Amino acid sequence: MATYTLTINGARQTVEAPSDMPLLWVIRDLLGMSGTKFGCGQALCGACTVLLGDVAVRSCSLAIADVGEQPVTTIEGLSSDGSHPLQKAWIDHIVPQCGYCQAGQIMNAAALLKRNPKPSEEEIDQAMAGNLCRCGTYNRIKDAILSTNS
């Protein structure tokens, strides 16, 4: 076991973990933040998406030893009260159905909007293609992201 000091949602956190422990389990099991979800465990579905710096990453396949000094933002760090424009747009467009994938969807959308504040529909489709939604709310997700352009 090694000791790691991470910046998660703006706060410095120190944890002891095996170097190959996925960031997802550090966030959920060691730090007690349950917003980031386990989906497939193979970086295929996007339910576990967090921001590493400003880049969307799959926390289920990122070892804690590979996080380095970059800050990590989870859905809890996007806004503690749901006031982030994406969170508001998700509510306005009634995006969630079962809701399980939505934290990962929002975090991926946040990364998209950081690098491209006014994406086209095609750019949204391309950026969000790796985040799966079993309920099929893709059109509502796209509408929510587009509404942040106004």
CATH number of the structural domain spanning residue 98: 1.10.150.120
| pLDDT at 75 (0 to 100) | 96
- Asked if 47 and 103 touch (Cβ cutoff 8 Å), the reply is yes
**What residue type is assigned to position 143 of the chain?**
D
Query: Which token pair is 150?
Result: 């106004």
User: Which pLDDT band, with edges at 50, 70 and 90, does 149 fall under?
Assistant: confident
Question: Are both 6 and 71 inside the same structural domain?
Answer: yes
**What pLDDT digit, counting tens, does each position of 52-66 carry?**
999 999 999 999 999
Question: Are both 112 and 58 inside the same structural domain?
Answer: no
Distance of alpha carbon 56 from the chain centroid:
6
| pLDDT at 67 (0 to 100) | 97
**What pLDDT digit, counting tens, does each position of 9-53 carry?**
999 999 999 999 999 999 999 999 999 999 999 999 999 999 999
**What pLDDT digit, counting tens, does each position of 127-138 carry?**
999 999 999 999
Question: Are both 69 and 96 inside the same structural domain?
Answer: no
**Residue numbers of the domain that contains 126:** 85-148
Query: Which token pair is 9?
Result: 């949602």
Residues of the chain above pLDDT 90, percent: 93
**What pLDDT digit, counting tens, does each position of 63-110 carry?**
999 999 999 999 999 998 989 999 999 999 999 888 899 999 999 999
CATH number of the structural domain spanning residue 55: 3.10.20.30
- Among 76, 109, 138, identify where a domain stops: 76
Q: How many structural domains does the chain have?
A: 2
- Beta strand extents in the chain (DSSP E only): 2-8, 11-17, 49-52, 55-58, 72-73
- Among 76, 99, 117, identify where a domain stops: 76
- Among 76, 99, 120, identify where a domain stops: 76
| pLDDT at 39 (0 to 100) | 94
| pLDDT at 150 (0 to 100) | 64
Question: Are both 8 and 34 inside the same structural domain?
Answer: yes
Nearest in space to 105 (alpha carbons), one of 16, 15, 37, 21: 37
| pLDDT at 80 (0 to 100) | 83
